Each structure stands twice: as C-alpha cells, then as structure tokens.
C-alpha cells in the first residue's frame, strides 16, 4: 500500500493548507475509523470545490494544493485533492478513470477521473467527488456500493481497469498545457491508460 500513501508533486499533502484541512476533517469525523474520515473528506471535496464547468469558472488547477487554493477544478483536480486529504490521514487512495462522451450518446469523448479508497472492511471502494452540481448527478459515499457520477452507457464509453497510485503522466501534462476551461471545451482531454497508449 506504500505507493498509495505517498506524496508527489500533484498529491502534495505536506502543503500546510492541505495538512490543516485534513486534520480538521479528521476531527469533524469524530472517529478514528477510516470509513468515517474518508466520508468526511469525500463530502467536503464534492461539496466545497466547485466543478469548473458547472460554475462557469476558467481556472485549470492541477495539484491538490492548487485546487484547494482556487476552490475549483476539473474532476481530475478534485480527485487529486481528495487523494491528498486521505493520504494525509494515512488512508490509501488511488486513481481510476472512465472514458465518456462529452454530451449524450455520440462522440466527442473525454476522460473522467475519480478515486479508489482502501477501506479495511470492504477493500478498494470507488468514489467520485466530481460534485452533484450538474442535473442528474447524485454521487455518494456509501460503501460497499459505489454511487458514481456517470454510468457507462453509450458505445465507446468504458471504465478503465486498474487503480493507479499516481495520476497518469500524460494527463498531468495535458492539464498543465490546458490554459482555460474554454481551451478544454475546444479540445477535451481523451487519453488511453499508459499501458495502452502505444496501441492507439
């Protein structure tokens, strides 16, 4: 589990603001139980960090600390922040990705990021802190049943296999190069997992 507990440039939980928030959320959970702390962290990120598209924001933060400071971000940024808060509380957390259509049953496609948290009672549990600010989305933290933001329902969509200890390098690069949400709208990020990239 060590790889799912480490800090990195994107999951920078040693940042004082993140460390302080992680401590406060642990205290608010009122329990040392991993599930209670994880739920508190999940709900905070889901409800307090605005999804940039839903709230007409233009910022594109990448790291957990940038996301916390901006108060907004794509699903990826929110997953980085949630992972940082969980890892700061010694709860293993990884990254999971979906390929989805941008709108409705036809292409264009885009990548969607969420988390997997390891809970002693249940093992790896998928959770999606994207935010319920878009009509029809009602993601919850209710182990053992995952309640994600988006079902896989149209041709070409999928949930990629694997729980990654770090965000995909190509994704971090694409986010860093994305100047604004308007830039993303013109060319949504659509990537393959690192082990499949050579097949494209």
CA distance 198 to 177: 21
Per-residue confidence (pLDDT) for residue 172, from 0 to 100: 98
CA distance 181 to 51: 11
Task: Give the Cβ contact number of residue 177 at 10 Å.
Answer: 10
Cβ(121)–Cβ(91) under 8 Å?
no
Mean pLDDT by 10 residues, the chain (200 residues): 97 98 97 96 98 97 98 98 98 98 92 98 97 94 96 95 97 97 96 69
Spatial neighbors of 50 by CB under 8 A, at least 6 apart, are: 57, 71, 72, 131, 133
Entry pTM: 0.96
Per-residue confidence (pLDDT) for residue 111, from 0 to 100: 98
Strand order of the sheet with strand 93-101?
123-127, 109-119, 93-101, 158-159
């Amino acid at each position: 589990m060590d790889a799912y507990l480490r800090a990195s440039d994107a999951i920078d939980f040693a940042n004082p603001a993140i460390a302080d928030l992680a401590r406060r959320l642990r205290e608010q959970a009122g329990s040392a139980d991993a599930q209670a702390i994880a739920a508190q962290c999940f709900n905070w990120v889901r409800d307090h960090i605005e999804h940039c598209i839903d709230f007409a924001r233009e910022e594109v933060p990448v790291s957990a600390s940038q996301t916390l400071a901006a108060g907004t971000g794509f699903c990826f940024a929110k997953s980085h922040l949630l992972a940082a808060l969980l890892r700061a509380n010694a709860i293993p957390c990884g990254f999971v990705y979906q390929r989805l259509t941008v709108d409705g049953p036809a292409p264009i496609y885009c990548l969607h990021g969420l988390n997997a948290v390891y809970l002693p009672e249940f093992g790896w549990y998928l959770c999606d802190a994207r935010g319920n600010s878009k009509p029809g989305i009602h993601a919850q933290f209710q182990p053992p049943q995952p309640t994600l933001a988006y079902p896989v329902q149209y041709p070409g969509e999928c949930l990629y296999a694997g729980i990654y200890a770090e965000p995909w390098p190509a994704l971090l690069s694409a986010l860093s190069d994305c100047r604004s949400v308007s830039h993303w709208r013109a060319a949504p990020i659509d990537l393959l997992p690192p082990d499949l990239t050579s097949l494209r």
